[in-house]
């Protein structure tokens, strides 16, 4: 079983982009997602996340379910625990969707981004 989401760029449609953005549009879920991005391929268990983020396990479970439903987070059973990981491929697809027509379709650079 693959331990981290593929870095291949998948294409998102509008519905999937809205679902992902809606999942991130809540402060605690955004913190959870950022913690998983920081953790990298090793991921985190819910217990570690709850401790790091000072959030109740039941609330964390709800937020993880929403993030997983949006495709931004995956989980893998490991013994008696679940390991959660950010789906970097899905995150990159969301960023690509948001910037697809940036700068009139030309590659953006830091200088060009100011002009956009």
Tell me the pLDDT tens digit for each residue of 6-42.
Answer: 445 578 999 999 999 999 999 999 999 999 999 999 9
> Is residue 107 a contact partner of residue 26, using CB atoms and an 8 Å limit?
no
Alpha carbon dihedral 64, 69, 71, 77, in 10-degree steps, equals 60
- Tell me which residue has tokens 């709850």: 50
Total-model pTM: 0.81
Tokens of 26: 């809540």
Q: Where do the structural domains in the chain lie, given as residue ranges?
A: 14-115
Q: What are phi and psi of 63, to 5 degrees?
A: -65, -40
The predicted-structure confidence for 94-111, as pLDDT tens digits, reads as follows 999 998 878 776 766 655
Is the CATH number 3.30.70.20 carried by domain 14-115? no
Q: What is the pLDDT of residue 104?
A: 75
């Amino acid at each position: 079983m693959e331990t981290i989401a593929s870095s291949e760029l998948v294409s998102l449609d509008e519905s999937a982009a809205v679902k992902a953005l809606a999942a991130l549009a809540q402060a605690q879920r955004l913190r959870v997602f950022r913690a998983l991005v920081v953790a990298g391929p090793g991921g985190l268990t819910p217990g570690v996340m709850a401790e790091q983020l000072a959030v109740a396990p039941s609330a964390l479970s709800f937020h993880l379910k929403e993030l997983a439903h949006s495709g931004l987070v995956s989980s893998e059973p490991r013994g008696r625990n679940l390991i959660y990981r950010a789906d970097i491929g899905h995150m990159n697809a969301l960023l690509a969707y948001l910037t697809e027509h940036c700068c009139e379709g030309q590659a953006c650079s830091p200088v060009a981004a100011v002009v956009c």
